[in-house]
Amino acid sequence: MVATITSSGPALKERLRSQTAIVWLLLLAAIPLSRLASENFPSWSLIDGTLVLSLFLVLVAFGQGIVILTGGIDLSLATVVTLGAYLTGRLVSDGMSLPVAVVLTLAGCAVVGVVNGLLVGLAGFPAFIVTLATGSIVAALLLGVSRGAPAQQSPEQLASWFGNSSILGISTPIWMLLVVCILAWVIQHRSVLGRRAFAVGGSPTAARLSGVPVISTYVLTYAVAAIAYGLAGIALLGYSSGADLSIGNSWLLPSITAVVVGGSSIRGGAGSVIGTIGGAILITLLGTDISAAGLAEGWKQVLYGLIIVAALLGNRVFQTAKR
């Protein structure tokens, strides 16, 4: 029955395929245009750096994307990213081994996701209000625990993975990116949770009548998303060699931008993780170009907003043309 609900019409499938293809074509077109921002592009060092930076956005965009797939939006993303980075650094600095610290940190992030899912699925509260509230609570708790202390230092082992570490001549974070992309595709398009998320996003009522456990789908979806945010925070801790309470602040808008430009419907029920990944890499590349051109960081926010508006307008034009 789930397959019946989640099977999209030909027009919707065509839109997803076409928008996913457009995103990747835009990415290919943006690579040579990057020479305008940096004469060294496309050198391998700059491509390597762009792909490494893409790891963080792909992680948060995947989490945001699967939440949007259910018809919600997760405004707690920035705080959970910070939680992942800060808690890992704090636990390791207190003498805990890195693997145990990572497991406990991801469990803590998952708890935030479970609370979000219960409040959205069981209580029926709007996702943006719920996640805004839980994000604010976690941010306040982090502020209280840290007591304004300096940033947590990155564990040596974690920092080494994002330093000069490589496998077969390719930076370790790029291999991580490949693994994340594969897992994201499997979860969204080949797992039971992914199929149920599509169903719930299409119509929670129809999904419930067809036997889909709607509440547990919300809970698991938000938990998986929170774990993805936590992983992004841990990766950022290693990349930046430290974490303060603002480390996750700049990732909310780019995550939404990557999902929308990748072809996902902001109303839920439709989306492609391949498009989201392409959108994340494209946005990372454009952001790198802005930095290389010496422009202020604020122009990135302008770019993200313009991309979202353009993607929404393109979606509206496509829907109108099909009528």
Ordered per-residue pLDDT tens for the chain, 323 residues: 444 444 445 555 655 667 788 888 888 877 777 666 556 555 666 778 889 999 999 999 999 999 999 999 999 999 999 999 999 999 998 899 999 999 999 999 999 999 999 999 999 999 999 999 999 999 999 999 888 666 678 888 888 888 778 888 889 999 999 999 999 999 999 999 999 999 999 999 999 999 999 999 999 999 999 999 999 999 999 998 778 898 999 999 999 999 998 888 888 888 889 999 999 999 998 888 787 777 777 888 888 888 888 877 776 766 666 55
Q: Give residue 256's pLDDT.
A: 94
With a CB cutoff of 8 Å and minimum separation 6, the contacts of 253 are 301, 304, 305
Assigned token pair, 128 = 């943006």
Amino acid at 311: A
Q: Give residue 279's pLDDT.
A: 92
Count of domains for the chain: 1
Q: Give residue 10's pLDDT.
A: 58
Q: For residue 240, is it within any domain?
A: yes
Q: Which residues pair with residue 242 across a beta bridge? A: 153
Range of the domain at 146: 54-311
Q: Give residue 49's pLDDT.
A: 83
In 3D, which of 248, 267, 152 has the Cα closest to residue 198? 267
Number of helices (H) and strands (E) in the chain: give both, helices first.
14, 4
Give CA separation, 189 vs 11, 116, 186, in Å.
Answer: 19, 23, 5
Q: For residue 302, is it within any domain?
A: yes
Q: For residue 101, is it within any domain?
A: yes
Q: For residue 192, is it within any domain?
A: yes
Q: For residue 152, is it within any domain?
A: yes
Question: Domain of 238: which CATH number?
Answer: 1.10.3470
Tell me how far apart the alpha carbons of residues 9 and 18 are, in angstroms, rounded to a whole number: 14
Q: For residue 323, is it within any domain?
A: no
Q: Give residue 6's pLDDT.
A: 44
Furthest C-alpha separation in the chain? 62
With a CB cutoff of 8 Å and minimum separation 6, the contacts of 1 are 210, 211, 212
In 3D, which of 280, 285, 301, 306 has the Cα closest to residue 62? 280
Q: For residue 266, is it within any domain?
A: yes
Q: For residue 319, is it within any domain?
A: no
